[in-house]
A and B are shown apart, each in its own frame.
Chain A
Amino acid sequence: MTEKKIYDIVIIGGGPGGLSAAKSAAENGAKSILVLERDREVGGILQQCVHNGFGLHHFKEELTGPGYAQKCYDLVKDRLEVEIMTDTMVLHIRESEGTKVVTAVNPKNGLMNVEGKTVILTMGCRERTRGAIRIPGYRPAGVYTAGAAQRMVNMEGYLPGHKIVILGSGDIGLIMARRMSLEGCKVEAVLEICPFSNGLTRNIVQCLNDYDIPLYLSHTITGIKGKDRVEGVTVSKVDDKMRPIAGTEFDIDCDTILLSVGLIPENELSRELGVAIHPRTNGPVVDQHRETSMDGVFAAGNVVHVHDLVDFVSDEAEIAGKFAAIKANGEAQPAKKDIAVNPGDGVNTCVPQHIRLADGADESVRLFMRARSPERKVTLHITDANGDVMKKPLPIVKPSEMIAVDIPAAKVKALAGDVTVSIEGGK
């Protein structure tokens, strides 16, 4: 028996989050990093996003999803510090005498327990389903989440159907509207229950307008027809409380319904481990280093909060990787100040939820926020116990587009009491 190996870092999930964290951890001095990925290949959800538009921020070039994933992989594959195991499902993580014990299984090694001084959670998210939003009607074949359909079309080479209605105007739904049109299918409509779209503006233009696909705002599906296979949907307008308005129903013939109704961070492992989960983001509560409520447990990417751009996932994961490496090497300074960052008026979520500072810390902090509603010409206002910290005018904000703002190091150092972030000047 060889001596029991304890990795510096065990990374759960080999999407862009996990791979970027591994790269940054290696660059920052971690000697042994293990990435565990349940799929046959690394790359996460990007493997099925064959369109382009990735990487402009992070790699300063335009890539497809698989191209972006490849790039993340290329940056770690030859590093001796990084070991990657695919086809490996992590079942449990627990804390044991200061180390983290990760239980995983694969066909080759069977059931195994691996130990890490630290872990980074990068499990991504899953799609919200029909059941979660309670669409009435029959339960036939032909109802898919947009991501599942995307995988079938782009990776397996099959079509989910031919006459499509898409519920939800999230980015995956919009991208799939275009994909299905390019595959020769007819996309009859995209229905959105909110009075505004939940996708990026560029996706509305490039995926709907360019293909003459109608977008119905403030509309939802109130019935699904067909016993074995979808035969059509009943659609209703909704009021400002999102309740269907009687008398506004109309039918659309279709054989397929794609759902793009939101993503849920995949935190079953985190919950079981005992990490505190934030009720609004549905992800771990983290500080600016992406350390969670548990010592040595870090998290980044969609598992923390749903990102619209993978570039920000990589940015965030690099932070987590760096500070996990510092922690594993025993070089982390104890935090002396713990400042809560709270969403104020107009702000739905804000990550990180804490800024923890060691004595003499000299670091800028990037905050990621989501607005509650679409607004024009507003001001992002950050305050602390002493009043103004900073203000930033924003020409336009939308719930679908994450807002990033940097608090410079000097201002971070001067923070007094808890911080509140608000969007002012909206309706």
Chain B
Amino acid sequence: MKKKADVVVIGGGITGTAVLAALARYDLECVLVEREPDISMGTTKANSAVLHAGFDAPTGSMKAKMNARGNEMYHELADEFGLDIKWTGSYVCASDDEGVKTLEELKARGEANGVKGLEIIAGDKVRDKEPNLSKDIKAALWAPTAGICWPFGMAIAFAENAIANGAEVVRECEATGIRVEDGKVTAVETTQGDIETRFVVDAAGVYADAVAAMAGDKSFTINPRKGEYILFDKTAKDSLVSSVVFPVPTKTSKGILVCATTHGNVFIGPNAQDDCGREDVSVTPAGMDEIIAGAKRLVPNIPMGASITEFAGLRAVSSTGDFILGESDAADGLLLAAGIQSPGLTSAPAIAEYLTDIIVKKTGAKERTNYVKGHKAAPVFREASDEEKAALIAKDARYGRVICRCETITEGEIVEAIHGLCGATTVDGVKRRTRAGMGRCQGGFCGPRVIEILSRELGKRVPEIRKDGVKSYMYYDKSYDGGDAK
């Protein structure tokens, strides 16, 4: 790990990685530290993955500005970074007169926020597009610029682009302190040693207040708000939706949606549960009942037999209610990206641009002359044409061995994911990069084989291979002495 840098980014979610990629365009030494074994393991791995059009946030708020700019930027970045994005558009559906009034308000707000193409359409026209929607829906706000994305892939693309441009991503490295001398940031202390630096970007998600406090900034707090989800098998998509369908929003959230994913699955959720812990990503029976009931108001017949997994994510709700962006008043050199709840994914490139501008102005950094543009997505066997498939196998026979049967993921793709610039070291890391284990059998079949490949490629023993978190070991040697067992 570098001992000296110009900027240290704390947190490897979408915010931290987008900031790193934006900084990497300039002649700056950058390090990102992430406490988990992989990037994208915080909120970035459990959310609705919608690139919002931008009509929700109050006009003039940071959320509104960043959302509109972020959405616009993704339309360009998608190609450059090989991002998995589908511009499906979104509907907000109203079932009563009051709801229809709210749609008018949302439309007006969206227009004030600069969102283009908003239109209120009649219930029947919505059902022409999404035939499984409830007959009770009277009208919907259609937002053509909304889309869906693959958040982990985006974070990985940003991180790998930054690494290609000389940045460093250090995983299993927790920031434990920020040194401030004469009111100026001088170093970040981590579990892997200190890094001298002039700038720190706090992109620590639900821990952003704790990180800011390390530099003496106690001006805000983060109160996590949990959202739970149920994901469905691809076979269920014909009885659900092919775009993003919201109900009319409430005060605390955009409501429980029914939403397609970029790979043809559909999920329902999230609910909104306050006062949970910062680590509480458990799913609850009450939460599942709530999201099923909520989703049924949009799509009356939910094929519950086709559910394949449940998960929960934490919104980093700040005490100000808005994103907290820019220079901290407490320490010169501390830049905040805090309170990044929804629309955080959508806003990430805009937030990155905003913070990078500040650092570039303060340092006078120049654009890199040897800047490596974009990111090349790894080959996806399943999506390749027959000729491309044959060529892949001819180049590397391991593309001819299917490991994950549900998603048709080959050994070649898994090996590639392990040896990427920010490669996978865990079973879930392989899953986030390739989808192996994300299908209907949830790794029941390929799990042991993925472990075997990780072990071989990383030169580690099977008992050293982890599922996801730092201590998530999966299998043990048989030398167990029996203990208190019979």
Which A residues have a C-beta under 8 Å from some C-beta of B?
Answer: 38, 87, 89, 91, 105-111, 126-127, 129-132, 134, 136-142, 144-145, 147-148, 151-152, 156-162, 181, 183-186, 211-212, 222-224, 227-229, 244, 268, 271
Contact = CB atoms under 8 A, between A and B. Distances in A.
B232 to A, nearest CB: 10
A179 to B, nearest CB: 12
11 contacts: A107-B398, A111-B389, A111-B393, A131-B231, A134-B288, A141-B472, A142-B474, A158-B476, A159-B475, A228-B469, A268-B406
Contact of A110 (B285, B310, B400, B482): B400
Given A184-B481, A184-B482, A152 B279 contact: no
B397 interface: yes
Contacts of B444: 126-127, 129, 144-145, 147-148
Interface of B: 230-231, 235, 279, 281-285, 287-288, 305, 307-311, 386, 389-390, 393-394, 397-402, 405-406, 408, 440-445, 447-448, 452, 462-463, 466-478, 480-486
A151 B445 CA distance: 9
Contacts of B308: 129, 131-132
Given A91-B408, A127-B444, A151-B448, A137 B283 contact: yes
A105 B398 contact: no
A211 B486 CA distance: 8
B468 A141 contact: yes
Chain A's interface: helix, strand, loop or mixed, by majority?
mixed
Contact of A212 (B230, B474, B486): B486
Contacts of A87: 401
B452 A156 contact: yes
A142 B398 CA distance: 29
A186 B472 contact: no
A108 B483 contact: no
Contact of B477 (A130, A136, A158, A244): A158
B280 to A, nearest CB: 9
A354 to B, nearest CB: 25
A54 B372 CA distance: 61
A227 B467 contact: no
A160 B475 contact: yes
B390 A229 contact: no
Contact of B478 (A130, A159, A268): A159
Nearest to A164: B485
Across the A-B interface, the 9 shortest Cβ-Cβ residue pairs: A131-B309, A141-B467, A107-B397, A228-B469, A186-B485, A107-B400, A89-B402, A141-B472, A158-B475
B307 A131 contact: yes
Contacts of B476: 158-162
A229 B469 CA distance: 9
A26 to B, nearest CB: 28
A129 B442 CA distance: 7
B484 A186 contact: yes
A36 to B, nearest CB: 12
Nearest to A224: B282
A229 B285 contact: no
B483 A134 contact: no
